Structure 1
């Protein structure tokens, strides 16, 4: 993580601002910040296109992100408003509903497609004005800063542990990715992706990977497009995690990953087989699932309702021939009362 102490201090101050104004659930804080970051990102993209057009470097934009009647929803339009009440009305009643509709027409990206159940919790004009000013003061011009900044916010979930949402330590994730040495045409899946940490680490590894001549492998023909649209797949059934994970990937330079709402162990998705070359995962190994909902092919391998056992045959089913996996399992699966699974 490369962000400076100054930026960390700004993020900490932003976090404290939410807590002091009654929004104390860490997941809720990250979600509210994510909405505003996304609105800002859309405006940044629009401003970039407008600058290119002004310099004669860009074609006429026949499909702007913000149509004429939505110009008030742009970050650059509302951020300097002196009337906090007006700012809240615009963001809550115009900008936020606008980004929710972006994913309802079959278009949009992984983030907007999971916005259906999103809720804007900022009810105080003063809080919104304060937060907008703080976010606008954080430098986020390059991908590395944006990604590291978001990762720093997500690190607060590790200590908070709200709703059981603990994250795998980044150094463990990086070690697993480095052991797997992913290639430029991998098809990678995390079937319990949460905040997307494993997929992000694989992306960071590949963004730095060079061939024998010292050239970035992603610059080879077709590799960048595969990276942006076909390489990364994540599943989760928690809407908040789907949005946070999608935002995390987007801020790390992955344009349109496939992040889907699904219960990976369910019979509803039992037809997904031999689809991926690499699986990276730390699934939720606790408790049991309802037996009637479990995919029948999984219970044929082992008759159980325990997730720590069911995910193992799932990994095998999802992998292509010759595929590989790096996954975290409880020690009991290999060495304890559940050792029979390792002997199968």
Structure 2
């Protein structure tokens, strides 16, 4: 978690951009990302140089050669003349980072940087931002990640077609519940800024570091073959690629795709884990939507089409943790019921976590849930685990203020994770509690309704009220006190 001082510094940078004429939040993020990346390149080069000095060998795979010394952050940041600083970055440094890897390089980075533009309008703004960024201590890897997440969190309005950023702690919960393995091939088909992929990479780094870096082949797999993200917005693709790079994943497969379109319908049975929060409120024309998805669920609603897409993308045995609007759980249309029946009957529905409506504020107040399922093509649903999340550690208003972590009631996330990993033990758990198992037969009898309210029992507390005579007596006493008080006040006038 970044400190209040660093948040203040980031806020100053953000305000500098706005006062300098860049008011589009995504453009601010994009330009800040370029500068953070340039700074990161210099840090990586320094690490390589220190290693070379220790071993007495030449620098391995240098980013900067001797002729590039003026392009390094540690050098140009000390240029006293804002005009010269602007010239060096705009005319030398930025073209340099766009050309990294050469013209034939087909890496995620190279592909998405081809259309990148340096849009900081004047030397004064650039010099101000460079000074502010340089003052932020970013030696710690977690600080860099937290700083970037805080920047992304400042995009405080919903995007097009119902897209909005998933809170980092919700992403982390979903990743922790899925517990990715080094052998997984992970995909987010609506990746945006790649938050789910970043969290998955951090999980693997924390829990399986020795395995993912065991040898060159394992390292290559982690950097190039493990993470896959699709989006059709060029800015999102660049920011997502940079986000992965800043978190240590060198060449993830972040691709420009409209996941629901007929053009990309050939992608299927490829991934062992899907983590996603797809657009909710959008709709597509039947003409542009993939025909195979329409055969599964004949609808224009993106939230339903994406569920069909997940099943198509997963290989047999593949798992998914995805955010859905509550309507997917209890919608009464034929399409809604068909989709839920498929999850329960044709595959293995593992769990449903109901979330409070404030989780996505200030972006949206929609009520949501997390679906957990496994693609089997042969059924397998036995008992479905339900959890009624009441609190996620933050206030559920637009401010989303962190709550006192010492109060268990303020944050259900640790309890969700612990109970998820022991959910098979909850067969006889009372339906009045926050989590419990529901047998498949009961879900079938309920017309495949997956809303927790269908199965949770409400306990009505007995409240003892005073008798009417006692209430009237108390009122007369209060009235007498008021009259005495008025009399005393009147005497003082």
Mark yes or no: TM-score above 0.5.
Answer: yes
User: How far apart, in 2, do the equivalents of 1:59 and 1:147 lie?
Assistant: 30
Given that residues 26 and 160 in structure 1 are in contact (C-alpha distance below 8 angstroms), is that contact kept between their aligned partners in structure 2? no
The match for 2:303 is 308
Task: Structure 1 unaligned segments of length 5 or more: list them.
Answer: none
Task: Structure 2 unaligned segments of length 5 or more: list them.
Answer: 343-493
The match for 2:15 is 16
The match for 1:92 is 90
Runs of 4+ in 1 over 6 A off after TM superposition: none
Given that residues 112 and 237 in structure 2 are in contact (C-alpha distance below 8 angstroms), is that contact kept between their aligned partners in structure 1? yes
1:181 to 1:290, Cα distance in 2 relative to 1, 3 A: same
User: How far apart, in 1, do the equivalents of 2:50 and 2:167 lie?
Assistant: 40
Q: How many equivalent residue pairs?
A: 337
The match for 2:201 is 203
1:220 to 1:162, Cα distance in 2 relative to 1, 3 A: same
The match for 1:58 is 57
SS at 2:249 equivalent: coil
The farther-off stretch of 287-296 and 64-73 is 64-73
Q: How does 1:203-222 map to 2 (within 5 A)?
A: 203-209=201-207, 217-218=211-212, 220=214
Given that residues 189 and 229 in structure 2 are in contact (C-alpha distance below 8 angstroms), is that contact kept between their aligned partners in structure 1? yes
Q: CA deviation at 1:125?
A: 0.6
Given that residues 163 and 280 in structure 2 are in contact (C-alpha distance below 8 angstroms), is that contact kept between their aligned partners in structure 1? no
Given that residues 194 and 243 in structure 2 are in contact (C-alpha distance below 8 angstroms), is that contact kept between their aligned partners in structure 1? yes
User: How far apart, in 2, do the equivalents of 1:182 and 1:49 lie?
Assistant: 30
User: How far apart, in 1, do the equivalents of 2:185 and 2:41 lie?
Assistant: 28
After superposition, the CA RMSD in angstroms is 2.2
Q: Does 1:248 align with 2:278?
A: no
The farther-off stretch of 20-29 and 40-49 is 40-49
1:87 to 1:328, Cα distance in 2 relative to 1, 3 A: same
Q: Determine which of 283, 290, 304 is the counterpart of 1:295.
A: 290
SS at 1:235 equivalent: strand
Q: How does 1:1-344 map to 2 (within 5 A)?
A: 2-60=1-59, 64-102=62-100, 105-107=103-105, 109-157=107-155, 159-161=156-158, 165-209=163-207, 217-218=211-212, 220=214, 223-338=218-333, 339-340=336-337, 341-344=339-342
User: How far apart, in 2, do the equivalents of 1:314 and 1:326 lie?
Assistant: 13
User: How far apart, in 1, do the equivalents of 2:213 and 2:48 lie?
Assistant: 23
Given that residues 196 and 246 in structure 1 are in contact (C-alpha distance below 8 angstroms), is that contact kept between their aligned partners in structure 2? yes
Give the TM-score, by structure 1 length. Answer: 0.90
Give the TM-score, by structure 2 length. Answer: 0.64
User: How far apart, in 2, do the equivalents of 1:147 and 1:23 lie?
Assistant: 24
SS at 1:287 equivalent: coil
| Deviation by residue 1:123-147 (Cα, 9 ceiling, x = unmatched) | 2111111111111111112321111
Given that residues 102 and 108 in structure 1 are in contact (C-alpha distance below 8 angstroms), is that contact kept between their aligned partners in structure 2? no
Q: CA deviation at 1:226?
A: 2.7
User: How far apart, in 2, do the equivalents of 1:326 and 1:54 lie?
Assistant: 46
The structure number with the bigger radius of gyration is 2
| Deviation by residue 1:46-65 (Cα, 9 ceiling, x = unmatched) | 2333333344543255x642
